[in-house]
C-alpha cells in the first residue's frame, strides 16, 4: 500500500527547501499542511518562473526536454539521473499494464528528437522490460510499413492520427496490415475512447485496420509520468508511488469519481523539478471502483478536451474534441483541421477545413445535430491541411489550431 502521507510530507519539505518558487510559496509554514489546503499552480505561473522550480544545481541536470508548446511558449523541463530512473520505472509499470514483456518487439513511431520526452521515456521503459525496440519515429509511413515487414514487431507505440495515416498508406500500396504481426497498439497524445470509456471512431478504426488491441495512454511532460490502461480498457492505471491525481471543478473543489473535471497532479520522487497540485489543463474523470484486471490503483479516463480550448459559439460551449468526434463518424471525411479564432468582439469563431467527399453543407448539418453548433466548413486541399497540421518544427500532428 502506498504511503501517501509520507510521500506528501517528503515532496513538501524537499520543494520548500530547494525550489526558489516553493520556498517563497511556503515561507512561514513550519508544519506540512494538508495537500488540499495548498493553492494549485497553473501553467502560466510555471511558464513565468520556469527555472525557479529547479531544485538542484545545473551540473546535476542530466537531460533537458521541452513541452509541446500547444498552450503557449514551450516549458523547459530538466531531469536528473534519478529522475530518468523514475521515468524508466514509470514506463515499465505502464507498459506492464499493456502486457508487454521481454518477448515483444516494439516499434516506437513517435517523435524521438526536438527535445521531446515521450520517445526517450518509452525507450527507457521498454529497455527495462527487456523488449526489443525499433525506433522509426513518425516522419515516414513508408518506413514504418517497411520495418513492420522486415522485423515483424508485435506492438507499436504511436499517435492515433499517424497510425491511421499508416493504415491509409498500406491500403494504397495493397499491404495487408491486418494480417501483419502487430497485435498491440499503445496510442498516445490523442483519445481512442469516449467519455463512456468505449472506443471512439479513431480507436475502432485503428483496432480494425491493424487487427490489434488498442490501449489508451495519457502522459504529461512536466509530470514525467504516463498512465496506460490494461486489457479491461477502463482507464489508465495510476502509479500512486510516483503521482497523485485530483480532479477539480472550476472553483477548485473535488468532483465525484467518474465526473469530468480538470486533472491536477502532484509528483512524488522527483529531484529536478517537482510539482505540487499542478493544473494540467486537461479535462478527464477519475475512477476508483474495482478493475477487472485485479489492480487496485485509481484510473484516469480519456481526456475529453483542454480547459483553455473550450469554445463558446453563440451561447453554446463545446470542446473541439466533440467536433472532431462528430467529423470522425461521417463516412467520406478525410483529413481535417479545426481552426479557432476571435471575431474581435470577444466571441469565438471556428472554421473547419476538410479534405474529403462530403459537402460542407452536409457536415454543418451533422455538427448542428451532434454538437448544437454549426461552424463554418470549407473544402480544402490535402496540402493546405497538412501545412496546418504539421507546421515547421512541430513534433506533433495537430487537428486543432487555436488562434484566439
Separation of alpha carbons 186 and 106, rounded Å: 10
- What contacts 194, CB < 8 A, 6 or more positions away? 200, 302, 325
Distances (CA, A) of 344 to 180, 247, 261, 349, 375: 52, 33, 29, 10, 17
Cell (9 digits) for 379: 473544402
Separation of alpha carbons 48 and 76, rounded Å: 11
What phi, psi does 204 have (nearest 5°)?
-65, -45
Cell (9 digits) for 372: 448544437
Separation of alpha carbons 91 and 62, rounded Å: 18
Would you give the DSSP letter of residue 103? T
What the chain holds in terms of domains, given with CATH numbers, is 1-306 (3.40.50.12780), 310-402 (3.30.300.30)
Query: Residue 263 pairs with which residues in a beta bridge?
Result: 247
The distance of Cα 14 from the centroid of its chain, to the nearest Å, equals 28
The pTM for the full model equals 0.85
Tens digit of each residue's pLDDT, the chain (404 residues): 469 999 999 999 999 999 999 999 999 998 999 999 999 999 999 999 999 999 999 999 999 999 876 555 789 999 999 999 999 999 999 999 999 999 999 999 998 888 889 999 999 999 999 999 999 999 899 999 999 999 999 999 999 989 999 999 999 999 999 999 999 999 998 889 998 999 998 999 999 999 999 999 999 999 999 999 999 999 999 999 999 999 999 999 999 999 999 999 999 999 999 999 999 999 999 999 999 999 999 999 999 888 888 898 887 889 898 899 899 889 989 889 999 998 877 788 999 999 988 999 999 999 999 999 999 999 999 899 999 998 887 777 888 999 88
DSSP letter string, 276-334? SSEEEEEEE-EE-SPPTTS--S-EE----EEGGG-EEETTEEE-HHHHHHHHHTSTTEE
Coil, strand, or helix at residue 133? strand
Distances (CA, A) of 259 to 39, 222, 254, 266, 308: 22, 24, 10, 20, 19
Separation of alpha carbons 298 and 105, rounded Å: 29
Separation of alpha carbons 145 and 210, rounded Å: 12
Amino acid at each position: 500500500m502506498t504511503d501517501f502521507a509520507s510521500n506528501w510530507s517528503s515532496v513538501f519539505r524537499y520543494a520548500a527547501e530547494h525550489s526558489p518558487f516553493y520556498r517563497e510559496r511556503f515561507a512561514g509554514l513550519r508544519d506540512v499542511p494538508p495537500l488540499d489546503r495548498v493553492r494549485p499552480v497553473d501553467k502560466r505561473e510555471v511558464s513565468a518562473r520556469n527555472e525557479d522550480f529547479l531544485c538542484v544545481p545545473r551540473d546535476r541536470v542530466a537531460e533537458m526536454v521541452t513541452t509541446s508548446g500547444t498552450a503557449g511558449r514551450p516549458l523547459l523541463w530538466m531531469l536528473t539521473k534519478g529522475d530518468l530512473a523514475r521515468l524508466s520505472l514509470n514506463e515499465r509499470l505502464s507498459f506492464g499494464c499493456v502486457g508487454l514483456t521481454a518477448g515483444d518487439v516494439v516499434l516506437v513511431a513517435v517523435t524521438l528528437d526536438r527535445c521531446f520526452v515521450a520517445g526517450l521515456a518509452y525507450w527507457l521503459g521498454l529497455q527495462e522490460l527487456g523488449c526489443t525496440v525499433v525506433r522509426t519515429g513518425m516522419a515516414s509511413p513508408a518506413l514504418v510499413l517497411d520495418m513492420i515487414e522486415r522485423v515483424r514487431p508485435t506492438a507499436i507505440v504511436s499517435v492515433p492520427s499517424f497510425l491511421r495515416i499508416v493504415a491509409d498508406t498500406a491500403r494504397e500500396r495493397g499491404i495487408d496490415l491486418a494480417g501483419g504481426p502487430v497485435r498491440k497498439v499503445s496510442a498516445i497524445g490523442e483519445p481512442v475512447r469516449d467519455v463512456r470509456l468505449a472506443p471512439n471512431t479513431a480507436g475502432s478504426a485503428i483496432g480494425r485496420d491493424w487487427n490489434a488491441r488498442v490501449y489508451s495512454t495519457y502522459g504529461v511532460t512536466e509530470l514525467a509520468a504516463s498512465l496506460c490502461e490494461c486489457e479491461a480498457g477502463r482507464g489508465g492505471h495510476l502509479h500512486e508511488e510516483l503521482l497523485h491525481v485530483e480532479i477539480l471543478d472550476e472553483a477548485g473543489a473535488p468532483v465525484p469519481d467518474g465526473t469530468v473535471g480538470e486533472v491536477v497532479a502532484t509528483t512524488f520522487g522527483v529531484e529536478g523539478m517537482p510539482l505540487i497540485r499542478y493544473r494540467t489543463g486537461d479535462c478527464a474523470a477519475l475512477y476508483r471502483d474495482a478493475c477487472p484486471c485485479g489492480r487496485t490503483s485509481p484510473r484516469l479516463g480519456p481526456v475529453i478536451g483542454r480547459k483553455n480550448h473550450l469554445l463558446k459559439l453563440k451561447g453554446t460551449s463545446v470542446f473541439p474534441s466533440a467536433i472532431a468526434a462528430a467529423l470522425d463518424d461521417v463516412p467520406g471525411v478525410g483529413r481535417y483541421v479545426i481552426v479557432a479564432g476571435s471575431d474581435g468582439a470577444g466571441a469565438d469563431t471556428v472554421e473547419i477545413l476538410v479534405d474529403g467527399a462530403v459537402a460542407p453543407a452536409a457536415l454543418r448539418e451533422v455538427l448542428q445535430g451532434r454538437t448544437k453548433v454549426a461552424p463554418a466548413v470549407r473544402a480544402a486541399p490535402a496540402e493546405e491541411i497538412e501545412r496546418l497540421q504539421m507546421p515547421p518544427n512541430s513534433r506533433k500532428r495537430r487537428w486543432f489550431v487555436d488562434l484566439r
